[in-house]
Chains A and B, each alone.
Chain A
Amino acid sequence: MSDASATGGSPVLRMESVRKAFGGTVVLRDVDLEVAPHTVTALIGASGSGKSTLLRCANLLEDIDDGAIWLDGEEITDPRVDQDVVRRRVGVVFQAYNLFPHMTVLQNITLAPRRVHGVPRAEAEARARDLLERLGLGDRHDAYPDRLSGGQQQRVAIVRALAVRPRLLLLDEITAALDPELVGEVLAVVRDLKDDGMTMVLATHEMGFARDVADQVCFLDGGVVLERGTAEQVFGEPQQERTRRFLRRIVEAGRL
């Protein structure tokens, strides 16, 4: 989108002092986060640092223990808020795709527009075909998910999330389950979405990609955002010792 001025607008997603524990394990201790419109935020950090939990909380798939979350200025962690209505405005793409195996690609994509948003079938299907075409899946709409490659499944999952025209897209390690040669096709889609102005938060282990595409990079460690900044800042001159150690390990593993 061309209105670059909107980047400075009020945040699409804001988290303040968010705490979340599972039993005795505190996953998010005190998380603050702001995501401006039409920007991409990358969450990086070791496995178990709380990246996925943060995303699940932002979509109310998990109830937070303390703190608050705002979506477009509305506090969504208020218990009086209708969670179903909130979720309609946020799209999620999961690591394991989570496509519905008993539905065709087209049915997967049109389910929510038709059942939740009341879009007529023909219209929902037309939009689905259009999106599939754009993501290079134009010929696969009648296939069942288990007939698709991992990369194709993940692209269908992205289309499914986009079909409801979400305000915010959450991507949870969407390439982690893919073979290396399929990662590229999925990341290319994310790049296109960024160019279209979609606001996204992505948890990722693809540091090169995060560096490439993210406007804001957040390093999660010990249940807090330990370091945040532009990609150049966090990857180029990290301020925290733990960030430096994490990045060094990534470099040694050949992933940056």
Chain B
Amino acid sequence: MTVAKDESGQEGKHTGGKDDIPHGGADGYVPSQRRLERERHRRARARRATAIAALSTLVTGVVLYLIVVNAPGWPRTKETFFSGGYAREALPKVLEGLWLNVRLLLVCGAAVLVLGMLIAVARTLRGPVFFPLRVLAAAYTDFFRGLPLIINLMIVVLGVPALRLQGVTVDPVLLGGTALTLTYSAYVAEVFRAGIESVHPSQRAAARSLGLTNRQTLRHVVLPQAVRRQVPPLLNDLVSLQKDTGLVSIGGAVDAVRAADIIVGRSLNYTPYIVAGLVFVALTIPMTRFTDWVTARMDRQRAQGGSI
């Protein structure tokens, strides 16, 4: 058997060798027969895997389709949830509403990052002067992380206007944005704080031994490393915020969800909800992919460098 292999190997080198030698560099390296054989085997295995995956996907898809289509209530469900006519009617309105969601995301996202960072830093401050600040920051995160967002929204969006305060806005968009910012700042503060605590004490010791003050150490050594490490979870929270901007509709602001709601209320057909849902998914997918990409890139860097 080995003999046969060796012979075919000699042949392979002579015929196909010139064109497809991988890394046939300046050092005159010619891949051995052993390597070519291994690569052939791997290619064959990869082809087989692809074929199996495609077949399996096809079978699963067909089975799922048959189950749904043969369900007793399918014709009716199809009409109420997947009506092409209503979908066409709803899409422009929903997209118009989506613009509000996007604006909310941008403004609240920026506010959340700033506020979250301030709260996280407040919790790490030392010294008796900052005691009330530390307590406040801790109480804030405890409270708003525990409070369900929907209840927070109702209190702020419906409760604040009921107070009839002079000079305080009753705009559901502004109030809804405020409620979102309150809740998400608490989450993001915890993400930042975890990042700050993940920086090894030896980094702090090195900075302090160079004569840097506590504040300079935080500013130049701890925070830059903390923020870098927390980029993936931060992006994750932003994706979540993006989708939760849909909840401001409970105050009557016409966003994508509310736009769908209006049509549903009129037609008693639920297709607009499906449209709104798909639009949100379409909006979050790029963000999710971006998060994955950043995470993978950071993992790769860590694997290469070996962080201290």
Contacts and interface: CB of A to CB of B under 8 A. Distances in A.
B308 A96 contact: yes
B303 to A, nearest CB: 11
Interface string B272-308: 0000000000000000000000000000000011111
* Residue of B207, B225, B228 contacting most chain A CB atoms (<10 Å): B207
B226 to A, nearest CB: 10
Given A115-B220, A144-B305, A145-B308, A100 B208 contact: no
13 contacts: A84-B212, A90-B209, A91-B210, A98-B205, A99-B308, A100-B206, A101-B305, A101-B307, A102-B228, A111-B212, A145-B308, A146-B305, A146-B306
B211 interface: yes
Contacts of B210: 87-88, 91, 111-112, 116, 160-161, 164
A161 to B, nearest CB: 8
B203 interface: yes
Contacts of B209: 59, 61, 87, 90-92, 161
A82 to B, nearest CB: 10
B211 A112 contact: yes
Q: What 3 pairs between A and B have smallest CB-CB spacing?
A: A146-B305, A88-B211, A98-B206
A100 B203 contact: yes
B124 interface: no
Contacts of A59: 209
B228 A115 contact: no
A116 B205 contact: no
A98 B203 contact: yes
Contacts of B221: 100, 111
B213 interface: yes
Nearest to A98: B206
Contact of A115 (B203, B212, B224, B225): B212
Interface of B: 202-203, 205-213, 216, 220-221, 224-225, 228, 304-308
Interface string A99-116: 111100000000110011
Contacts of A90: 209
Contacts of B228: 102
Interface string A74-94: 000000000011011011101
A116 B212 contact: yes
A219 interface: no
Interface string A50-61: 000000100101
Interface residues of A, number: 30
Given A161-B210, A164-B211, 14 more contacts: A59-B209, A84-B208, A84-B212, A85-B211, A87-B209, A94-B202, A98-B202, A98-B203, A100-B207, A101-B308, A102-B225, A112-B210, A116-B212, A146-B306
A115 B214 CA distance: 12
* Residue of B206, B225, B304 contacting most chain A CB atoms (<10 Å): B206
Contacts of B213: 84
* Residue of B206, B210, B228 contacting most chain A CB atoms (<10 Å): B210
Interface string A34-67: 0000000000000000000000100101000000
B216 A115 contact: yes
B211 A116 contact: yes
Contacts of B225: 100-102
Interface string A131-169: 000000000000011110000000000001100100000
Contacts of B202: 94, 96, 98
Nearest to A111: B220
Contacts of A99: 206, 308
Nearest to A59: B209
Contacts of B224: 102
A189 B245 CA distance: 60
A201 to B, nearest CB: 14
Contacts of A115: 212, 216, 220
Contacts of B307: 101, 146
